[in-house]
Amino acid sequence: MTDRPTKQGRGRAAKARDTVDWTLPVDPDALRTTLLDWYDRHRRTLPWRASPGEHSDPYAVWLSEIMLQQTTVAAVKGYFERFLKRWPTVGDLAAADRDDVLNAWAGLGYYARARNLHRCAAVVADDHDGHFPSAVPDLKALPGVGDYTSAAIAAIAFDTPATVVDGNVERVITRLFALETPLPDAKPDIRIRTGRIAPDTAARRPGDFAQAMMDLGATVCTPRAPKCLLCPWRDACRAHAMGEEERFPLKKPKKPKPSRQCTAFWVTSGDHVLLERRPAKGLLGGMPGLFSTPWIDTDTQDMADDWQSHLPLSGNTRTLPGTTRHTFTHFHLETRVIVVSVKVVTDIENGFWIPLHHVEEAGLPTVFKKMAVHAVSKGSGT
């Protein structure tokens, strides 16, 4: 495979393509064929994966791909099956109440995905007659669908040639070529190299190839202790030849996580508890939670003990022993819980009351679920 002749007015990608240094002992077509053979022999059964030869439902593909963003297969399985059973079509999901969708998503994390999921379903139902578009640019225009997901849906659901690059592909490609450029700077190069190996026609099975690349990364070319003896690309892999598989991909150093702390309020009245509906945007946006003081940075702020002014309702208060801890993507949170007993159920802004025995179905994100468990276990002494 040779580089194309130079043309005028090329973009950055085209320019980089000419400078790609292809130094593997085998050509792209051989790599693609070898990988597809491996996939046919090792294909995994997954809830969202069509059987060989069967047509996959674009709605199911889209739903699974959104859920799988930065999330493990094991964590997604149950959620995927519950969603598909409750909302069998994109029209059903579009017609669902937003809070019901958020409730069903609770615990899976990255809640902007759930908000975008519901918005996207509405767009597909309203603007696309209930059918997902098949072209990458049209898919990428949908809420929550970016570079990876648009390519994945096009390839897997419609067998359209598309360059699918996720974290698995990045790892496989950087090892195959022993790329010394750290992520994310290496992304454009990785995309170009992946595009060279990937199928360029529907007949060459773009969907299977994309899934094969990701399966290879997930089961063989793993971050730690890769199973190179089982790898179909073992003989071509430069990192393997160097004996330095685990050194790739290189990554830019990440910043340390700061710590924050807050005081949360477990407000009860009789057998009811008060929860907050959080603002629609930002951290845990749109989700239910406990009222609390602001989450203050531990390093820059003193242990501010001014929880009184943030008390949502006045009542008898009791500070529980101990704290709960939770780690988000970019900070740690330590929470002290104060039990507040109020005389009568009183409505307040952004607040809602639920029976205590329904807390488990309230759809609390994990950080709040920890606080609720703490309150119930430590606070039952009154």
Q: Which of residues 151-180 bind DNA (CB under 7 A)?
A: 152, 166-168, 171
Q: Which is nearer to DNA, 142 or 197 (CB)?
A: 142
- Among positions 328-367, residues that touch DNA (CB under 7 A) are 328-330, 365-367
Applying CB under 7 A, which part among 92-100, 121-129, 281-289, 298-306 lies near DNA? 281-289
Nearer to DNA, 287 or 313 (CB): 287
Residues 6+ apart with CB under 8 A from 323: 334, 335, 336, 337
Q: Would strands 288-289 and 272-277 be described as parallel, antiparallel, or unpaired?
A: antiparallel
Catalytic residue among 65, 170, 245, 276: 65
- Under the binding rule (CB under 7 A), the answer on residue 282 touching DNA is yes
Q: How far is the CB of 223 from DNA (least distance, A)?
A: 4
3-state DSSP call for residue 178?
Answer: coil
Of 232-240, 250-258, 268-276, 353-361, the window that binds DNA (rule: CB under 7 A) is: 250-258
CA 278, 284, 286, 288 torsion: positive or negative?
A: negative
Angle, CA 52 vertex, CA 50 and CA 57 arms, to 5°: 25
**How many Å apart are CA 321 and CA 316, to the nearest integer?**
16
Query: Per rule CB under 7 A, is residue 224 in the interface with DNA?
Result: yes
For DNA, the closer of residues 163 and 313 by Cβ is 163
Alpha carbon 298 to its chain's center: 28
Return d(Cα 155, Cα 164) in angstroms, integer. Answer: 8
65 is catalytic: yes
Q: Which two tokens stand for residue 305?
A: 């003990």
Q: List Cβ<8 Å contacts ≥24 apart for 242-249.
A: 242/178, 244/178, 245/175, 245/221, 248/171, 248/174, 248/175, 248/178, 248/179, 249/170, 249/171, 249/174, 249/175, 249/179, 249/182, 249/183, 249/186
| Rounded least distance, CB 140 to DNA, Å | 7
Pairing of strands 316-319, 332-341: antiparallel
- Is residue 134 classed exposed, middle or buried when 0-12, 13-18 and 19+ CB atoms within 10 A define those classes? middle
Looking at the Cβ atoms of 92 and 334, the one nearer to DNA is 334
Size of the chain, expressed as the number of residues it contains? 382
Residue 231 or 313 with smaller CB distance to DNA: 231
With CB under 7 A, what is the number of residues at the site for DNA?
A: 59
Q: Least distance to DNA from the beta carbon of 343, Å? A: 32
Q: Which stretch binds DNA (CB under 7 A): 197-205, 253-261, 349-357, 374-382?
A: 253-261
Structure-block tokens of residue 233: 């690309």
* Interface residue with DNA, options 109, 195, 315, 351 (CB under 7 A): 109
Q: Pick from 72, 201, 300, 309: which binds DNA (CB under 7 A)?
A: 72
Under the binding rule (CB under 7 A), the answer on residue 238 touching DNA is no
> Stretches 1-9, 83-91, 219-227, 231-239: which one binds DNA (CB under 7 A)?
219-227
Does position 284 bind DNA by CB under 7 A?
yes
Give least dist CB 195 to DNA, A: 16
Catalytic residues: 65
Enumerate binding residues for DNA (CB under 7 A): 46, 49, 64-65, 68-75, 107-112, 116, 143-150, 152, 166-168, 171, 184-185, 211, 214-215, 217-218, 222-224, 251, 254-257, 282-285, 326-330, 365-367
